[in-house]
Structure 1
């Protein structure tokens, strides 16, 4: 996997471009990787932008419902709830998602 492919997939997740996300996932891009320049997960990005189809696809193809997005400091469940995505929050919970994923190491010293 090249970082460029991941960055393009991340941009596609933010934009709601399911075909492009599908292309990258089928090409082997890891949906759980967080690029050091971006520090966000494609799943949380798609949830925050309201792209339900992309979020569902990512979940169906290996995106962890437990992985906190480092920059946002949000779990997928927290992101879904923040955006009022009740159906996706229920789907995440059915997959074992919880609100209490550990904070990224670099944010642990910041106040909650």
Structure 2
């Protein structure tokens, strides 16, 4: 996998381009990679942008339902709840996602 392929997968997930997401996943691009320039997961990005069909596809094709998106500070479960995708909350829980003990807002607390 090259980072360029992952970036295109990420952009497709962000934009809701299902065909391009499907292409990159079938070509072996890792949906759990977080590029050092972006530090987000395609799953969380697609949930934030309301592309529920792509979220389903990513979960069925290896996206980690526990993986926190570093830039957003959100797990997929937190992103789905925050953006009102309760059907995805159920799907994430079926994939083993549980509530994180660390709230997403921890990163903004003063040190």
Structure 1 length normalisation: TM-score? 0.90
Specify the alignment match of 1:31 in structure 2: 31
Distance 1:36 1:96 in 2: 27
Structure 2 segments unaligned to the other structure (5+ residues): none
Tell me the SS of whatever aligns to 2:62. coil
> Would the aligned equivalents of 1:68 and 1:75 in 2 still touch at CA under 8 Å?
yes
* 1:66–1:101 Cα contact (<8 Å) kept: no
- Are 2:72 and 1:72 equivalent residues in the alignment? yes
Output aligned runs, 1:23-102, within 5 Å.
23-100=23-100
**How many residues were matched structurally?**
109
For residues 19-72 of structure 1, the C-alpha deviation after alignment (integer angstroms, 9 at most, x for no partner) is 000000011100000000000000000000000011000000000000000000
CA distance in 1, matches of 2:62, 2:45: 15
| 1:12 paired residue number | 12
Give the direction of change, closer, same or farther, for the CA distance of 1:109–1:80 in structure 2 (3 Å limit): closer
Paired residue for 1:111? 109
CA offsets 1:71-108 (integer angstroms, 9 cap, x no match): 000000000000000000011011111231768xxxx7
Partner Cα distance (2:42, 2:80) in 1: 13
Runs of 4+ in structure 1 displaced over 3 angstroms?
none
Q: 1:101 to 1:46 in 2, by over 3 A?
A: farther
